[in-house]
């Protein structure tokens, strides 16, 4: 998954204004206690991060 697709899905899920804030502020246990932003900066593949987001919040099937 490309980062552009990752951020498109995040915006659809959380809304344009909130997606980046959620990614920077919410710690996801499955990402080793890191935020989405931290995990991506550490080189975790976007697809793996997206799957962790999907498991941590209710994501509609069409966005998975």
* Full domain range(s) for residue 41: 3-63
| pLDDT of 64 higher than 80 | no
Give the span between the Cα atoms of 12 and 61, in whole angstroms: 12
Sign of CA dihedral 18, 55, 27, 5: negative
How far from 2 is each of 5, 29, 50, CA to CA, in Å? 5, 23, 11
Q: Structure pTM?
A: 0.89
User: Do the Cβ atoms of 46 and 1 come closer than 8 Å?
Assistant: yes
Dump pLDDT digits (tens) for 8-61.
999 999 999 899 999 999 999 999 999 999 999 999 999 999 999 999 998 877
The total number of structural domains that make up the chain: 1
Give the pLDDT score at 12: 93
* Residue carrying structure tokens 């990402």: 31
Give the pLDDT score at 19: 96
């Amino acid at each position: 998954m490309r980062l552009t697709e990752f951020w498109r899905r995040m915006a659809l899920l959380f809304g344009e204004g909130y997606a980046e804030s959620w990614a920077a502020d919410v710690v996801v246990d499955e990402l080793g206690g890191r935020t989405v932003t931290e995990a991506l900066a550490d080189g975790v593949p976007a697809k793996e991060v997206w799957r962790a987001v999907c498991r941590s919040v209710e994501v509609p099937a069409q966005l998975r």
